[in-house]
Structure 1
């Protein structure tokens, strides 16, 4: 939508004021006019199908989109800009392009499109300056056209301020007319002021209006250019450390010239090669998952070349890349020295480093892109004679880009990935074995420690299982306790009722039997009664013994002091004994 809007803002006023240009290229202008109208219509259709966000959700329903667009002010402006005002050509003539002035109502769409492009471009400052220059060009163009119209109204060549007489062949061409007027307007609006002095009232009013506009244009240009320069400077300060402050610090403390030159070379290398040292500060406003994805896309090629990470799962790499810190070392600078306390490991992104002897001359090996070192001093390998000390001298041959990973970050990451941890420790043991820095008993002690830890974990697991079972048994015990108490109370009640009812029933049966059998039968009945009494007394004594045992069990269960008694006299046995007593009473 940018091109048709700019076309109408430039060409309509041009054809209106410069009639010669309008007549000379009339077929071209008419074709471009209706092409721009067609693009206006296409823009309305696209806008009608463009989704919008409602509570963070993209709305794509065509009915809702149509309803929202038709109720907006953009639809009113778009519709007004497409009204068929070209029919006025029949009234005013085909050479009157001013009838299409309603096409200028789309200016809000131009601002919206430019703002959207500014947020998407990779060079926002350059785009911002370009947009400002487009606005200034359109403003000078309109002033050019109005100056030519005013000169025509006053009279060409009537004084030095207006456009010269067009009857002069030198000033009669269309190209000369436009460029002369454009140059005149540019001088006014850029506050150059090298123009003839106005003589008439119309000329004074035009100059006053132009000078006021020129002040605004000048302020806008200065402000936007200043903002662009400030943004560029802030970008450099974010991407690269502040070199000026460091140089001032070195001068104030009288640092040696050699060291200052090394610092300057380091800064120059960063700036020329666009080395970014403050990635975390640049990306800190982004969500964590976005920072992780950016770090993976930027640093994954380097990590994939590291042997210990080649077969690792993606989640491990995502954890590592966020914690990597970029560092740049100058030529001849030591990354680490033998015997230093190790706090981080290094991964080479770019450059070459040499493993040198203590004399700094003899080179044992050369490390290049994808190699890593320093992991031995931060892994706490059992049997390492050097402990957490560096085991070699590493010196940068040229400018080297490295990633550093601190001991704390590596420990946190590897705690979630035991396979990678064992692989890294095994690599460290192999290196220590080759160097003769690994104690012989280290592996045995490590194995014994692992066995002991395994046993402890197994015992802890068994203890947790036993505690769970004990808790379950205690709950069952409490439930059984309540049930037994209720059952004992019921049995005691039934036994007491049977004890009171049994003698009365026996006496009635004796009297009835005596009446029927006479004297002989009475003696026999007495003997039977005595035998039944003895059996009943034995049953009652047995029931009382069982009840006493049951009471003892209940007391022990309540106090939880005698688990042995509970184990020897179980609840089913007590219940069966009580039921036997009850059934015995029933039989008697």
Structure 2
């Protein structure tokens, strides 16, 4: 029994030591795993830091173009939520954005399909220019090729290529008009079905169909007859539309009108000259009225065209001494030429007169005001020193352009609605208003009323704006120049520059008694 107890005790001691060893081993393994975990965590942290550093470095290495953001002052006080005249980040994306990028962003914002043509964009303008060039090609070349067959025969392949090219332009123009937007109740329509229906039910579609009638195919049987392409003249309405678009865009509308009238006169002279030669040829070049077709220089293509053009120019301008017609056809043709010439020539002279009058309108108005001031001062016997100051003010105002455009927006642009007038006044006076500190925190409604009451004044050097003790009824904001505040002894107390203001207490005192 004693030996059995000893064996049992030794076995229990062995099991206890084994359990302790196992616990120690587990503790060591747990400690090792914790060290591995800590090491892995630190490694991951180092990797994350390294990756973040690389990302930051790569981001810094890629120089992004600066964004052109809205003016915060204008955004706050504008009458519109997003001014149309501002190029915002949404509009341009960056200062380096191209016109194509701006157009694509604008289309995405307005949800305009890519295949729809916006009549306000440059693509439509340049496409109309291309169509107009094709129309003018037909107007200028068909009649001269018909009148002088040698011109057609010497370059038949060239004329055929040009004819096919212009026909292709006219066909493409039909597809363009099928996808051109239009205004409906003041809103631009971009729906494809509406666009197609609007064009197909318009008179323009009928003109386009008529212009594409292939009568020139008859030349295969009849020979070269360029005037068989006369249906292309139905397309002239597109040239008229292009004329009005240019007139609305150009800053010299009167000059554009004169150029257009001169071009019409040249086309008429060109056509009447060609008809004159055709009529002379039909009458066998017999008589004094017809073209003097003789061997030598008069038989060359250049002389025949210039001689015919010379006759038509003298007739249309009604200043030429021409032979008397002999046949009824010659009489009718001459009478029609004179009547059209008188109308066109009188129109051109009147338009040129309007251009000259409008060009000198500002100067004439200035001279009228100046003469009135001189008459007033002479009538009231104003002293010479005061006269010189008044005349100097007129000269200085004219040189600064103040008298030409009108300093008061209500006078210059009185027909505009108040909202649009306020928006325009904010843009015009933005550089001045941003410099005035009291306007930074004022209510937008107050500033909207204020800009419509702002007037531009010009003071010449040495003028006194106000004196101590005078009733303050106006607030002055210095837009340009330097203003000195003088004491009673003439000492300069302070100097005020652009952005400074004075007299604000006077406009806040409604009874007008502030001094």
TM-score by length of 1: 0.58
**Can you list the C-alpha shifts for 1:468-521, whole angstroms capped at 9, x where unaligned?**
xxxxxxxxxxxxxxxxxxxxxxxxxxxxxxxxxxxxxxxxxxxxxxxxxxxxxx
* Pair 1:388-2:511 in alignment: no
Match of 2:477 among 341, 347, 355: 347
Question: Is the CA contact (8 Å cut-off) linking 2:377 and 2:387 kept in structure 1?
Answer: yes
1:120 matched to 2:249? The reply is yes
RMSD: 3.2
> Residues 49 and 278 of structure 1: is their aligned pair in 2 closer, same or farther, counting only changes over 3 Å?
same
Which whole-Å CA distance do the structure 1 matches of 2:303 and 2:383 have between them? Answer: 65
Partner residue of 1:83?
213
Preserved contact between residue 240 and residue 271 of structure 1 (Cα < 8 Å) = no
Please name the residue that 2:421 is paired with. 291
The within-5 A match list for 1:135-534 is 135-156=264-285, 161-165=289-293, 167-169=295-297, 171-198=298-325, 201-229=328-356, 242-256=369-383, 258-275=385-402, 276=405, 277-310=407-440, 317-358=447-488, 362-380=491-509, 388-389=514-515
Unmatched segments (≥5 aa) in structure 1: 390-588
Alignment of 1:556-567 (within 5 A): none
Instruction: Tell me, in whole angstroms, the C-alpha distance in 2 between the residues paired with 1:249 and 1:155.
Output: 75
Structure with the bigger percentage of helix: 1
Instruction: Please say which of residues 318-327 and 287-296 is displaced more in the overlay.
Output: 318-327
For residue 41 of structure 1, report the CA deviation from its aligned partner: 2.1
Q: How many residues are matched?
A: 381
Shift in Å at residue 79 of structure 1? 0.5
How far did 1:254 drift?
Answer: 4.8
SS of 1:349's equivalent in the other structure is coil
Aligned partners of 1:177 and 1:257: how far apart in 2? 71
Paired with 1:139 and 1:258, the residues of 2 have a C-alpha distance of 61
Contact 2:409 2:425 in 1 (8 A): no
Q: Structure 1 residues 315 and 208, CA, compared in 2 at 3 Å: closer, same or farther?
A: same
1:27-106 pair list within 5 angstroms: 27-93=157-223, 95-106=224-235
Give distance in 2, aligned partners of 1:244 and 1:233.
16
Over 3 Å counting, the alpha-carbon distance change for 1:167 and 1:67 in structure 2 is same
In structure 1, the residue matched to 2:102 is none
Structure 2 residue runs without a partner (length 5+): 1-130
Question: Bigger radius of gyration, 1 or 2?
Answer: 1
Decide whether the 8 Å contact of 2:485 with 2:495 is kept in 1. Answer: yes
TM-score (ref. length: structure 2): 0.65
Is 1:4 paired with 2:111? no
Please state how far the C-alpha of 1:240 moved relative to its aligned partner. Answer: 10
User: Could you give the per-residue CA deviations for residues 320-345 of structure 1, whole angstroms, max 9, x where no partner exists?
Assistant: 32221111222322222222111111
- Taking a change above 3 Å as real, the CA distance of residues 153 and 312 of structure 1, as seen in their structure-2 partners, is same
Q: Distance in 2 between matches of 1:335 and 1:38?
A: 69
SS of residue paired to 2:305: helix
- Using the alignment, how far apart are the partners of 1:376 and 1:29 within structure 2? 79
State the Cα distance separating 1:253 from its structure 2 match: 4.6
Structure-2 separation of matches of 1:342 and 1:366: 20
How far does residue 346 in structure 1 lie from its aligned partner after superposition?
A: 0.9
Which secondary structure does the structure 1 equivalent of 2:470 belong to? Answer: coil
C-alpha distance 153-66 of structure 1, shift in aligned 2 (>3 A):
same
3-state SS, counterpart of residue 206 of structure 1: helix
Greater relative contact order (CA < 8 Å, ≥ 6 in sequence):
2
Query: Is 2:237 the partner of 1:108?
Result: yes
1:376–1:388 contact (8 Å) kept in structure 2: yes
